[in-house]
Chain A
Amino acid sequence: MTRRRHERALVRPHVVTGGRAHPTRNIFDLVTLMIVAYDDDLSDLSPEKHRVMELCGGGALSVAEIAGHLKLPVSVTKVLLSDLVDSGHITTRAGVPGVDAPDHRVLQEVLNGLRARL
């Protein structure tokens, strides 16, 4: 494997993430929904990324759920997902955090949904 530019030479690489503790992009909230974008060629992926692809192949899941199902820390999961987004295998569907406060429509929809359960 070629050395990645984020890898620091003097620190023992993290086995799962290929040496990085932080994702290359910061688009992931815990509830960002992830879906598979491309799964024709998985030959270059690490075993951990294969597991992510296998899990996500069934449908959309949040970042937190992927971490929970794979029994990985969220921080590690974000690095794996970031790589898979970079390589075009995974994409986000919804839940990218905004800077704005939650909007009125969403809150009203949450309220309606909760009331419907009673």
Chain B
Amino acid sequence: MDSVLVSDDIYVRDTVRTAVKILVVGHFAVGKTTFVGTLSEIRPLHTEERMTQAGALVDDLAGVPDKVTTTVAMDFGRMTLSEDLVLYLFGAPGQRRFTQLWHDLALGALGALVLADTRRLEQSFDVMTMLEEKDLRYAVAINRFDGAPTFPDAELREALDLLPETPLVHCDAREPASSTRALIALVRHLLAGDDQERA
């Protein structure tokens, strides 16, 4: 289906007044796009930005012919959670060089779900550091891959160097219930932090 204009169900319900977002982050091929696609009520959308390697948005290439540019893509989907509220899920790359994109993504985000793969745990460090720099709270979800090794949670926490209060959950990004539970763990964590700040 190429023409998006023929379908009515792409639109946000008339009653919705609040739109929020949660980031789904992690390294290449960790399952971000799958996770977003599993939960989204719309066909997931995709945007691309051209960026310089330094991370600035490229506004005119003619003036800077020697700059190296790259394309950064993100996938996102939508969940209508009540008459009034929609939640957007943004699957975003965890590369440090995409500063402007990260600024846009982090602005106003409720929090982030970090997807991790037990075969490549160390590749999650970069994105977790970036979230901490942006002061975005997160939970970690180990995405189950067939054939990937399993470890006790205590070992995973140590390997990922998680704070005691940071939730660690397991999910299968192909399964709606499992993916929803991972988001619930994140939002419960955000609410708990909110309570602490108010206390």
Contact = CB atoms under 8 A, between A and B. Distances in A.
B17 to A, nearest CB: 5
Given A54-B5, A61-B10, A111-B191, A29 B107 contact: yes
A110 B19 contact: no
> Among B12, B76, B88, B180, which residue has the most Cβ atoms of chain A within 10 A?
B12
Interface residues of B, number: 56
B48 A73 contact: yes
Contact of A104 (B57, B104, B105, B198): B198
Interface in B1-44: 4-5, 8, 10-14, 16-21, 42
Interface in A74-118: 74-75, 93-95, 97-98, 101-102, 104, 106-118
B10 A65 contact: yes
A60 B14 contact: yes
Contacts of B84: 109
Interface stretch (B58-66, B119-127, B144-152, B159-167): B58-66
A58 B188 CA distance: 35
Per DSSP, chain B at the interface is mixed
Contacts of B47: 64, 67-68, 72-74
A46 to B, nearest CB: 18
Interface residues of A, number: 48
A111 B59 contact: no
Nearest to B184: A114
A6 to B, nearest CB: 11
A110 B29 CA distance: 27
Contacts of A55: 4-5
Contacts of A101: 194, 197
A98 B181 CA distance: 28
B129 interface: no
A11 interface: yes
A60 B81 contact: no
Nearest to B75: A68
Given A67-B45, A111-B187, 6 more contacts: A30-B88, A59-B11, A65-B42, A102-B194, A107-B194, A110-B110
